[in-house]
Chains A and B, each alone.
Chain A
């Protein structure tokens, strides 16, 4: 059975064209839709409750909180998953690799909201870290798996050649294996980014802020305008983050490949 990654941001050659179309169309669509909704939200008559949420300061704060969670999550994921993945491909770590992959698999199979809520109930923490840590656990798998698969699929003869010219195991990893695995790692990071920015809309459940809070406010106080502004900003932010990930994939991939 063909294996398909969940986010749909694949690098299958046949679908490269779809990725190119998105690279152009996505930021334009975001600009138009977010711009239109903001103009609509600010131009219409707002009552007192709406005015409390629909103002530049609040929207910027919520967007910033959302972005901060995403950045912190990505930093944790990259900082943990890339070294861990590289370590698990070393010969001495072969027996324990499935254990770590299994744990990461369970992390992603569990519903994101459940992981978030359970972490909150167990630790009693609130705020940025209460949101960032469980979201990082939840979005760890793509980077871990892609790092391992990326390094394992490096042509063994290249590794042999590197050893043959006298490179130390460390420089074989850093100068040969990692650069060749980079496209896979970057694809994994992009997947994790999308998971992180999406799950960050749930951060407000544990007082972590973010754009989900506007959706919640609009829903609870029965102000659809606030809900729509929050949701559209969250959608726009997710698409922009995904677009930046795609751009990074294009720009940071090693020149010798592809």
Chain B
């Protein structure tokens, strides 16, 4: 059986796994974006707070994903929960760091002007600072998504959903007829989906970045 025959034959299951993979990654990225932006907003004015937040987040990212997943199994059991917790933790770093860098990079003259025309603290943050930092935040989300696509494969070890299941059953069934096709379909599927998401980010950036700062 060639790879194409295999994919055609198992299309229904592969499509479902692809969908679960993308949905798991996108949901984790969104959750991490909410948390990351909140953390970023909380600490960006204090150099010490920024250093601690980025330092901690970098440390989390240094942790091998398989080891973190292993540590989460005794706590959360098997299934989607440990997978999503691990994915959110890994996505935090690029998003938090980019939020801090983006917010810190806003020209003080602009925020002064906003205050000068009578905007309150919250309005300055939501209507000026966050909008100017948005391209950086979005870039962080993009990096996080790409990274999570690969980590989600490993999360299938703890019975997480997605294409990782294909890779693992290809490994356990090594030597049998479709083992290589199965692992190949899983791996290539992840690469293709990652490219598609990259395209989605391109369009999101195109339509959501404030017109004044669009390059």
Contacts and interface: CB of A to CB of B under 8 A. Distances in A.
A15 B170 contact: no
A113 B155 CA distance: 10
B187 A2 contact: no
A22 interface: yes
| Most chain A beta-carbon neighbours within 10 Å: one of B64, B65, B146 | B64
B58 to A, nearest CB: 4
B44 to A, nearest CB: 11
A21 B136 contact: no
5 shortest A-B CB distances, which residue pairs? A114-B187, A198-B64, A215-B70, A234-B67, A111-B150
Interface residues of B, number: 57
Contacts, number: 174
Interface of B: 47-48, 50-52, 54-55, 57-59, 61-68, 70-71, 73-74, 93-94, 97-98, 101-102, 104, 135-136, 138-140, 143, 146-147, 149-150, 153-154, 164, 167, 170-171, 174, 179-180, 183-184, 186-187, 190-191, 194-195, 205
Given A109-B194, A121-B180, A234 B101 contact: no
Chain A facing B: main interface SS = helix
Given A113-B153, A114-B186, A121-B180, A219 B73 contact: yes
A5 to B, nearest CB: 8
Nearest to A206: B171
A205 interface: yes
Interface string A207-227: 000011001001100001001
Contacts of B195: 109
Interface residues of A, number: 58
Interface string A110-123: 11111101101110
Nearest to A17: B51
A161 interface: no
Given A1-B138, A9-B58, A231 B190 contact: no
